[in-house]
Structure 1
Amino acid sequence: LAGVTLELGGKSPVIVDASADVDAAAERIVWGKFLNAGQTCIAPDHVWVHASKEEALLAGMKSALERFYGKTEEARRATPDFCRMVDDGAFKRVSRLLDESVAGGARVVAGGGVHAETRYIAPTVLADVTPESAVMDEEIFGPLLPVLRFESLDEVVTQVRAGGKPLAMYVFSHEEATVERLLKETSAGGTVVNNVVLHNVNPHLPFGGVGQSGLGAYHGEAGFKAFSHERAVVRQGRTAFTNLFFPPYRGKAQRLARLASKLFE
């Protein structure tokens, strides 16, 4: 049998609470989401934002998109800093998610343009998204960023847990109690607080999924251990006490066995 690790992706959530630095969050989320047009396994898939911060976050994301890729749709389509979908199948799948989500009530805050001949899908931010929206049915793996609002952290915990165990989870908060609760009550392959994707570039951290998002871990020492075997070796000295536990188990031997069982409970 050979050692193995598996990455199976998933819908990696971002949670932005009421205490977060919204400007920093918007900029970092846009950067991490639209790397390679969202075609990375650890891309933020969707954002849960506290209702009190929703409009500020949406405005910050739109501003960040304009700074990164151009102020107009034409400029963003022409920039060499934003790539295309990898093939026709990927283009059609993500375009379908966009069309069905907008038809279902999602609002395009930025982007929304597509061009089939070049497999271009604009970096797009969607608001008024609900868990029932088409874009929430599967891992996006493309340049669509749905934003969902929440009032209570209970709602977020319930939704994250219902969506399976993601490969990554990103938390923007300056409330330590919030961070600790999310770490305790959810499960993910990796988590970054107040940034995105950085856990993947640190060679000292194990990287991998859990549950639906994969198994095993690699990078640095974790990778060496994953594909190696730690061989257990015991060397017995001249004196051993194992003979005290040889059968028959009566009298003194029986008492020693009972004592040993209590010691190792």
Structure 2
Amino acid sequence: MPSVADPTVTTITCRVTDPPLELLTTEKAFRPNPTTVRFARAMRIRPGDTVFDIGCGIGPLAIKAALDGAGRVIGVDPVPAHCELARKNAERAGVADRTVFLQGRFFEPIAADPMLRDLRANVIVGDVSGIAHAVSIALGWYSSDVPTGGEDGTDQIRELLRLAGQWLQPSGTLYFPIATDLSDETRILDEAKRAFATVENALEKPYVEFPLTEREVELIRGAYPAGQPSWLNVQVGRRPSWRGQILAARGPR
């Protein structure tokens, strides 16, 4: 487990709050990125809410939820080192008394805890991997510890959508991402509509463009030597980019 004295531990600035958070991280840890910032803008937290942060990483969105007034926040991540860093970051932000970080997959560690298994969330934040495996490996966006989105980028998000309803209060909201140009958006939306009565964009601007370098475009195309899948749609031109969305799902079926 990383410790503050560990020479590989560094501090980064994360703009999910104002003023920004200063978070402890390591070279191997998955770091907050522009999608994290979009999640922070989309989240609507009411005082006293119970929030589950699935795929919490080093804790930025869980900490923001607590700072926004959530009464209890439970973060879950498959990587033990992420959970340890998230605990330390919550302490630094002054919200350790309202946050718990558990190692495991999706809702499994919550279900396994007798003190937590009966909780149902007002808000679930599902910032899980949503990039196709070949793309994420080519770009080096995920460490080997972090599950990728599978062949078409949908594996983690579709499983989240199938599971989340039973952990959400009837009036609650699930926030989840779609990497529109780097995953099969149609498969994710179909799963979301099966699981929830309402699925809509959580931000005023439906699509957010994330810039790519020319080298990254080359790597993405090179990840599919036999031909690109139909859902892969990297924007090229003067400003190469890919598009993403943050969606809100309500009314679990």
Question: TM-score w.r.t. structure 2 length?
Answer: 0.36
Greater C-alpha Rg:
1
Higher RCO by CA contacts (8 Å cutoff, separation 6 or greater): 1
Normalized per residue, the structure richer in helix is 1
Question: TM-score w.r.t. structure 1 length?
Answer: 0.35
